[in-house]
Amino acid sequence: MPEYGSQDDTNELLPPLPQGTISLPTSSNYLVKGSAGKKSPASNSGKQEDANGTVNEVSIRERLLHDQPELLQQFGMDLLPVLIQIYESSVNGPVRHKCLSVIRKLMHFSTADMIQSLLSVTNISSFLAGVLAWKDPQVLIPAL
């Protein structure tokens, strides 16, 4: 039976985080089937120049979220409580890492107002306490 709506699929719906951000260690993907080395064929479509004159690729997904922020907000409102529930009920490290990765992307690409509304649909303080209590440096460092 095919698996629908896996965390890997959810993670791929959001654009990649910009280079220079702290990310989950690549060793966290060693048990997640098919997670290493996958790249969306339509991920790079535009170019954007930063303050140093360096040209950065802007993905179609990132441009879509910028042009239609309500999509990201609805995506977050629907999935954040589910991701937190999956994270809290799982003891499997790779599953927890994928949940954190998606939550991290949601927070990164959301505006302050979006984050405020996302936090209203979940018990974020309990979730953060659980993350901090996990005592796995591969989870703690990126989560902080």
- Residue 20 maps to a domain: no
- Residue 101 maps to a domain: yes
The pLDDT value given to residue 45: 44
- Residue 37 maps to a domain: no
The pLDDT value given to residue 65: 84
Mean pLDDT by 10 residues, the chain (144 residues): 51 75 50 40 44 58 87 93 93 87 91 92 87 78 70
The pLDDT value given to residue 97: 86
pTM over cut 0.75: no
Containing domain of residue 85, as a range?
69-144
- Residue 13 maps to a domain: no
- Residue 1 maps to a domain: no
Distance CA 11, CA 18 (A): 15
- Residue 35 maps to a domain: no
- Residue 90 maps to a domain: yes
Distance CA 70, CA 74 (A): 6
- Residue 75 maps to a domain: yes
Q: How far is CA 29 from the centre of its chain?
A: 14
Split into its structural domains, the chain has a count of: 1
The pLDDT value given to residue 77: 94
Where do we find the tokens 């005592």?
135
